[in-house]
Structure 1
Amino acid sequence: MKNATQDVRVERRHATTPADEYNERNGPQKFLSSNEISTIEPFTFMGLPSLRYLYLNHNKIRSLESNTFVNMSKLYRLYLHTNEISTIEPFSFTNLPSLRYIHLYGNNISHIEEHAFGNLTSLSTLDLTGNQLNCDCSIFPFWSWLIKRSSIGTSSKCSNGTLVTSLQPAVLETCHPDNCPQCFNGGKCGAMGYELICDCIGQWTGTFCQGTM
């Protein structure tokens, strides 16, 4: 079996050596901070089901892909702060029943995809301080997820400083996926402000992508 760090792309120009440690109070921990890591391959840490604390802060991680953190049944606290993360893809966090704390402050997160955090049943704190989320219709899935989980403490804010949890349902009701127009010729439903429109491709244009240029 591969070592869990083999698929983590690391450039060690001024990096410290990763260290594993067992703490009697906290349990197994993995330290990968300050290693200039830019990419984490899917399933990299899946072979560490007993890991409790994972430190990936102060790196150069740019995005979290689907299945980045999956099937880590004992993971309790995850440190991802002070990276360069801009996007969190669907199912980046999957089957993590013990995860209580996710530290994502000090990144460049502007967009969180639907199902990014999945069903994190034990999550109590999601720290997104210092990220400026785009609060147009694209925020609707994340906003809906937070509203249904009012017990989660979060400091997530829009780029204008508004707390995501304070966004009014009346403003976002037009953003519900049920309000997506029927798009033709390969067009897809997309957000423009607080309105859902057809995003056309190729030569197609018009409200429903039925006209040509």
Structure 2
Amino acid sequence: MTSLQVFSLDTVCCYTPSDTFVETPHLQTLQITNCVEFSPDTELFQPLSELQILDLSDNKIQNLTFLSRANLIKVEKLFLKNNQLRIINETIFDTLPSLKFLDLAGNPFACDCSNAGFIMWAIKNKQVQVANAFQYRCSSPLALDGHFLLDFKVQSCWEDISFLCFMSSSALVLLTLLSSFTYHFMRWQLVYGFYLLQAFLYDSKKKRQGCRHVYDAFVSYNVHDEEWVYGELVPELEEQQGWKLCLHHRDFQLGKPIIENITDAIYSSRKTLCVISRHYLQSEWCSREIQMASFRLFDEKKDVLILLFLEELSSNQLSPFYRIRKLVRSRTYLSWNQARGNKALFWEKVQRALDC
């Protein structure tokens, strides 16, 4: 058997173990046909390194994956007629470097984009002659049953992919531009809207619970202005006028999320007193406090927000976040800088604002 060069099996090969051809290393022509149960694996043909002609017709083979590591480096002619091959991956033929003739007649090809690569390969490759390729017919999809395989318009496959890539890249570019535009020009409005929604939900919850006011005023201030708050504001309002103030360092609950402490403090107080300075406008938490308080102002339609300016600020120093001053009555705007000459009058105005 070691000298055998031509071997043919027809209808008598129900089972072909992987070591069938170990003893026939010099085989040059192999024909295995009409084997209903024939299902070759990658190891079956590995010993046949000198094989030149391989005929596997009429075997109901459904794919060609067994050729991927078959070691058929000298095969020049490959016959695969009348099998069950629907989709051909043209790259599988790269494992057959000596291939010159290929016959795939009688297979039920699929006329869709999965065969586009094979169609282009069959038309354009100059090394392998695909026998009667222009006579191959389609069996699927049903609308193309009986049509010639090579008549399938493969350009539509590339156009679909190109169009999809174009649409995806365009959408990505537009999304990037829109995100950049939104972040640059509208980020404060979006954040403001988010906290207004959060305040609305909190306010609805408090209304259902029927909660009472615990404090006369919640004092919203920046840590840089703490010296003025404790040196001027708290002694005057709590000790002299008798108001009960809510101060974050003293009255916020430990372990509770800070945003919940803020909303609790605002809705548990009759008023919110914002001590505004340059540092205040730069503080994230202070901005959230004034957002919550401004929503309560819009929702309850009461003068619950008092703005106390520690220093003079021009309109261009106030971000759009803080233009709510246009919606608050002018008497709620207090200026410490202007009242230094008459502090008694200033504190009297604060008292009236808290009392009304």
**CA offsets 1:96-139 (integer angstroms, 9 cap, x no match):** 23212111112222233463333323322211111111122221
TM-score (norm. length: structure 1): 0.56
1:51 aligns to 2:27 (yes or no): yes
> What is the deviation of 1:147?
3.8
Unaligned regions of 5+ residues in structure 2, if any? 140-144, 166-356
Determine what percentage of the aligned residue pairs are the same residue.
Answer: 28
Matches within 5 A, 1:116-155: 116-150=92-126, 151-155=128-132
How far 1:80 sits from its partner (Å)?
Answer: 0.9
Of structures 1 and 2, the larger Rg is shown by 2
TM-score, normalising length: structure 2: 0.36
**How many residue pairs are counted as aligned between the two chains?**
155
* CA distance in 1 between partners of 2:109 and 2:40 (Å): 16
More helix by share: 2
Moved more, 133-142 or 77-86: 133-142
Q: Which has the higher strand share?
A: 1
Measure the CA separation in 2 of the matches of 1:54 and 1:45. Answer: 10
CA contact (8 A) 2:67 2:95 kept: no
Cα distance, 1:88 vs structure 2? 2.2
8 Å contact 1:105–1:128 — kept in the other structure? yes
Change (3 A) 1:163 1:68: farther
Structure 2 CA distance for aligned equivalents of residues 40 and 142 of structure 1: 31
The separation in 1 between residues aligned to 2:157 and 2:46, in whole angstroms, is 31
Of 2, 7, 10, the match for 1:33: 10
Aligned pair in 2 of structure 1 residues 116, 50: CA closer, same or farther (>3 Å)?
Answer: same
- The answer to whether the Cα contact below 8 Å between 1:86 and 1:108 also exists between their aligned partners in 2 is yes
Identify the structure with bigger relative contact order (alpha carbons < 8 Å, sequence gap 6+). Answer: 1
SS of 1:112's equivalent?
A: coil
Q: Name the CA shift for 1:102/1:161 in 2 (closer, same or farther; >3 Å).
A: farther
Whether the aligned pair in 2 keeps the contact of 1:62 and 1:86 (CA below 8 Å) is: no
Where does structure 1 lack aligned partners over 5 or more consecutive residues? 1-19, 181-213
